[in-house]
Every structure is written in structure tokens, then in C-alpha cells.
Amino acid sequence: MDKIVIEGGHRLKGAVRVSGAKNAALPILCSSLLVRGASVFHNVPKLNDITTMGRLLERLGCVVTPGRAFRVDATGVEQFEAPYELVKTMRASVLVLGPLLARLGRARVSLPGGCAIGARPIDQHLKGLEALGAKLQLVHGYVEARAKRLRGARIVCDVPTVTGTENLMMAAALAKGVTVIENAACEPEIEDLGRVLEKMGARLSGVGTKVIEIEGVDELRPIEHTIIPDRIEAGTLMVAAAITRGDVLVEGCVPEHLEAVIAKLRAAGAEVDLEATGVRVRVRGELRGVDITTQPHPGFPTDMQAQFMVLAAAASGQSVLTETIFENRYMHVQELARMGADIHVDGRTAIVRGGTRLAGATVMATDLRASASLVLAGLVASGKTEILRVYHLDRGYDQLEKKLRSLGAVARRVRPRKSAA
Ligand code: EPU
């Protein structure tokens, strides 16, 4: 398995461009299942999760041509099963449920089960699809869904769910009549999916707010679309700039998608300037601790909590972080503690006492954003940090170590030697 080795203590300087958003690309690739014909998506990031999604779409009968311009021809889709092997490696596979049901009237999708960061049920996806007229059964660990033609309905989500809202939007786009999703999630990735469905010919309003209205149509058409930039990758690079007391222009990101993150960087003492080509982050003085509570968008994103924990450890003073979205998203704490961070977790709250210089160590990545936090910790730690199990990082970051290297970090990937046969 690959590892990343970082020599800490280098200030980051220069400009770096963010890739397309993983969490926008995944639902958007699934939306191609709604259409007979080939859709082309630009700015698709090169990530393991995208490869997995490509494999799943192929398995369903799509002709997939991967690349930054990613082509999916879903004309021949006949299969309706997302098997356990694929769903267990990537929960976002559940995003084929809505489109398959809408297009084929049938879907069989493995239940994802729990995952490292929490239980993550899909009850809201299922409740919404039932409201649209689907008959659902849980059989041998699979959700089996059937519907002759979905019918528009009013759906009130108990919690705002990102992939749940996306599944329901895609299902509703081919339903008969009008669907209203209340307490919908408002993340920018949902807005991007909304733009895609509109281009395909669906009629939507309210996307990006808590109430989305979708008027279904009989048929959708293939499209071309450019995926939005990845706000979490951008935020991660901004934190890298801040903690190394660097000066970095994060190019191509959308500042409006990052308002909560930028506000906290400023509160921590970073200078954040919105420039014509991106967001410049500089730290000339001291970094101060900041308190953070994760919230659905437009609040502070849970996907940036682990990275800000490293900032809190590198800053002076105390920070209180509260994770409200997932119940087990503090797995990076033990690894950061091994590097000398002073963190006390009590339930969903983590108290970080900053001001200690982290020391390089061998640490283990446990999930995607936890891995990113270990890379960041390595940038400021004294000496060498080795991060093992970086396949977690590769699921969601497009060559992060290469981008950091281009800014002056000393970071390299070490691949295991092939044993002589
Ligand atoms: N929830 C339910 N029932 C449901 C669905 C969700 O109770 O049917 C709960 C979850 O357990 C959680 C909360 O609602 O407590 C929010 O979960 P959500 O469904 O919004 O998360 P998701 O759709 O599974 C997406 C991202 C995650 C990101 C979260 C929150 C994708 C593919 N994944 O997950 O991204 O953390 O939204 O913003 O879009 C990542 O990229 O590292 C990542 C984990």
C-alpha cells in the first residue's frame, strides 16, 4: 500500500488550482442514468471514488469513457442492481437508486451498512421514494424498489440529507407531476445537480434552498456540463497555507461556497483576500484558536472539521470543536495525539489546547478527511511524518501531495516495491 512521507516545517507559497468536486461529480454521473444517449461531464476529478462509480455505471449497462471529460452513454441500461462489493467500498453508490427506479421502474441496491464516521442510515431516501409511489422491500441486505411510474408528491425530510435530496431530485425528474422536497439539503453540490437536471429538461425551482420543487417530465435529454470546483479540497489547501504561515492563492474555487470556512480562517488570524482568479490566504502574525460547530450548508462543513483541528492544534489558545453531523468523526484525534496534539474529546465536543509543536510520527489514515488532517499535521510537524493507508486520501483528493509539493512542501508518495516473482 502507498504511503505519503512529509518533511515538516516548510512555508507554502505560490498558486494552486483546485480540481472538480467529488461530491458533485458522483451524483451527476449517476444522473446520466436518467437519459437515453451520451452525456459528457467536464472537470471530473481523477479519484478512486470516480473510478468506482464508472465501474458501477458500466455494470448497469452504460458505456463509460473515463477522463477529465467523462462520457457516459446510458442508452443500453438494463441492469438494475448495485451489488454489495461496490456499495460497501463507496456509499455514494446508493445514488443510483433514484435514477434506476425512475428510468427502469426497478432497482436493487445493497444497503450500505455503517461506516467509519457513523451509522449513516438511508431511511430518508427510502421514505421519499415511497412517497413517490415506489414499493420497497428489504431482502437479504438489499433494497428492492419497484414502481411503474413514479408520481410527484410532497416529501418532508426529517433531517436535511445531501445524497438523500439528490436521490429524490433525480427520481422526481422523471416522475409524473410535481414533487416538493421540504427540509432539503442546500449544499452547492445539490445546486450543481439541479443545473444538470435542468439542462436535461427537468423543471426545478428552489434548488439551493430548503424547499425544492420539481416538475417531472416524460423524457430527459443528454447534455454536456462542467462540474463545480471542490470546496473541500480548496478549504484543505487554505488550511495548509494558514498553518504553515504561508502565502497561497487557491485558484478556481468559488468563494461563496466557502463562506463559513473563510470566516473561521479570518477569525484564526489569517488574511483572506478574494482575488480575480481565486482566494489568497496569508498568515503573517500569530494564529489563534477558533471554536467551530459543524452544520449543514451554509454552516461550517463537517468535511472540514478534521483539517481545522490541525489548525487549532497549531494555533495559540484553546479551541472547542463540536461535530453535529456524524457521531464518530473524531478518528483523527488519536493519531494527532500521537504527534503531540493536546485534544480532549467528550462526546461530540473536542477541546484542543493549541501551542504545542507537533512532532513527526508514523500515523494511519482512517477515512478520507481524517487522512487530509494527517497530511496537514505532517506539514507543520518537526521531522518526518509517514502517513499509511493513503488509499483513503486517494478516494477524494486529486494528487494532494503533488499540489502541496508545487507550493514548496516536501512531500512524496512511496509505493511498495513489487516483490520479485
Ligand atoms: N441521515 C439520516 N437518514 C438518511 C440520510 C442521512 O439520518 O436517510 C443523517 C446522517 O446519518 C447524518 C446526516 O443525516 O447524520 C447528514 O448525512 P447526509 O445524508 O447529508 O450525508 P451523505 O449524503 O451520506 C454527503 C457527503 C459527505 C458529507 C455529508 C455531509 C457525498 C457523496 N457525501 O454524505 O462527504 O460529509 O454529505 O455534508 O456527497 C466526504 O466527502 O468525505 C464525505 C463524507
Here the CATH number for the domain that contains residue 177 is 3.65.10.10
- Please name the helix (run of DSSP H) or strand (run of DSSP E) that holds residue 42, with its range, or none: strand 38-42
Q: Measured in angstroms, how far is the CA atom of residue 193 from the centroid of ligand 1?
A: 16
On whether the CB atoms of residues 327 and 353 are closer than 8 A, the answer is no
The pLDDT assigned to 117 comes to 81
Task: From 7, 4, 12, 86, select the one nearest 243 (Cα to Cα).
Answer: 12
Which residue ranges have their beta carbon within 6 Å of ligand 1?
23, 26, 91-92, 118, 120-125, 159, 161-164, 185, 302-303, 325-326, 368-369, 396
Tell me if residue 312 falls in helix, strand or coil: helix
Same-domain pairing of 88 and 198: yes
- Asked if residue 419 belongs to a domain, the reply is no
Write the residue with the smallest CA distance to atom 36 of ligand 1. Answer: 303
Same-domain pairing of 105 and 58: yes
Same-domain pairing of 172 and 301: no
Same-domain pairing of 354 and 302: yes
- Which grid coordinates belong to 92? 455514494
φ, ψ of residue 146 in degrees (nearest 5): -140, 145
The pLDDT assigned to 419 comes to 65
Q: Which residues pair with 179 in a beta bridge?
A: 214
- Mutation pick for ligand 1 pocket among 56, 163, 192 (CB with most ligand atoms within 8 Å): 163
Q: What is the residue range of 296's domain?
A: 3-19+229-414
- Asked if residue 167 belongs to a domain, the reply is yes
> Based on the number of CB atoms within 10 Å of its own CB, is 129 exposed (0-12), middle (13-18) or buried (19 or more)?
buried
Tell me if residue 388 falls in helix, strand or coil: strand
Same-domain pairing of 70 and 108: yes
- Asked if residue 253 belongs to a domain, the reply is yes
Task: From 292, 285, 326, select the one nearest 309 (Cα to Cα).
Answer: 292
Task: From 256, 333, 261, select the one nearest 302 (Cα to Cα).
Answer: 261
The full DSSP string for 255-309 is GGGGHHHHHHHHHTT-EEEEETTEEEEE--S--B---EEB-STTSB-GGGHHHHH
How far apart, in whole angstroms, are the C-alpha atoms of residue 24 and residue 30?
Answer: 10
Same-domain pairing of 268 and 186: no
Tell me if residue 344 falls in helix, strand or coil: strand
> How far is it between the farthest Cα atoms of the chain?
63
Q: Measured in angstroms, how far is the CA atom of residue 347 from the centroid of ligand 1?
A: 19
Same-domain pairing of 54 and 193: yes
- Asked if residue 86 belongs to a domain, the reply is yes
- Number of domains the chain is built from: 2
- Asked if residue 328 belongs to a domain, the reply is yes
First to last CA, the chain: 18
Q: Which residues of 85-124 are buried (b: 16+ CB within 10 A; e: fewer)?
A: ebbeebbbbbbbbbbbbbbbebbbbbbbeeeebeebebeb
The Cβ of residue 415 has, within 10 Å, a number of other Cβ atoms equal to 8
How far apart, in whole angstroms, are the C-alpha atoms of residue 37 and residue 101?
Answer: 18
Same-domain pairing of 9 and 34: no
Tell me if residue 410 falls in helix, strand or coil: strand
The pLDDT assigned to 119 comes to 79
- Asked if residue 181 belongs to a domain, the reply is yes
Question: Of 222, 247, 275, which one is at a domain's C-terminal end?
Answer: 222
- Which grid coordinates belong to 310? 490541525
Write the residue with the smallest CA distance to atom 24 of ligand 1. Answer: 163
Q: Please state the three-class secondary structure of 77-118 as a single string.
A: CCCCEECHHHHHHCHHHHHHHHHHHHHHCEEEEECCCCECCE
- Asked if residue 374 belongs to a domain, the reply is yes
Same-domain pairing of 136 and 251: no
Question: Of 191, 222, 253, which one is at a domain's C-terminal end?
Answer: 222
To the query of whether residue 115 is one of the catalytic residues in this protein, the response is yes
The pLDDT assigned to 145 comes to 98
Measured CA angle at 200 (ends 195, 203), to 5 deg: 70
> Of ligand 1's atoms, which has the minimum distance to the CA of residue 123?
8
Helices (H), 159-294: 162-173, 188-200, 231-243, 259-267
Same-domain pairing of 14 and 109: no
Question: Of 222, 243, 272, which one is at a domain's C-terminal end?
Answer: 222
pLDDT in tens, the chain (421 residues): 899 999 999 999 999 999 999 999 999 999 999 999 999 999 999 999 999 999 999 999 999 999 989 999 999 999 999 999 999 999 999 999 999 999 999 999 999 876 788 778 999 999 999 999 999 999 999 999 999 999 999 999 999 999 999 999 999 999 999 999 999 999 999 999 999 999 999 999 999 999 999 999 999 999 999 999 999 999 999 999 999 999 999 999 999 999 999 999 999 999 999 999 999 999 999 999 999 999 999 999 999 999 999 999 999 999 999 999 999 899 999 999 999 999 999 999 999 999 989 999 999 988 999 999 999 999 999 999 999 999 999 999 999 999 999 999 999 999 988 765 5
Same-domain pairing of 236 and 294: yes
Task: From 46, 49, 95, 83, select the one nearest 66 (Cα to Cα).
Answer: 46
Please state whether 85 falls in left (phi above 0), alpha (psi between -120 and 50) or beta.
Answer: alpha
The pLDDT assigned to 68 comes to 85
- Asked if residue 420 belongs to a domain, the reply is no
Write the residue with the smallest CA distance to atom 7 of ligand 1. Answer: 121
Same-domain pairing of 294 and 148: no
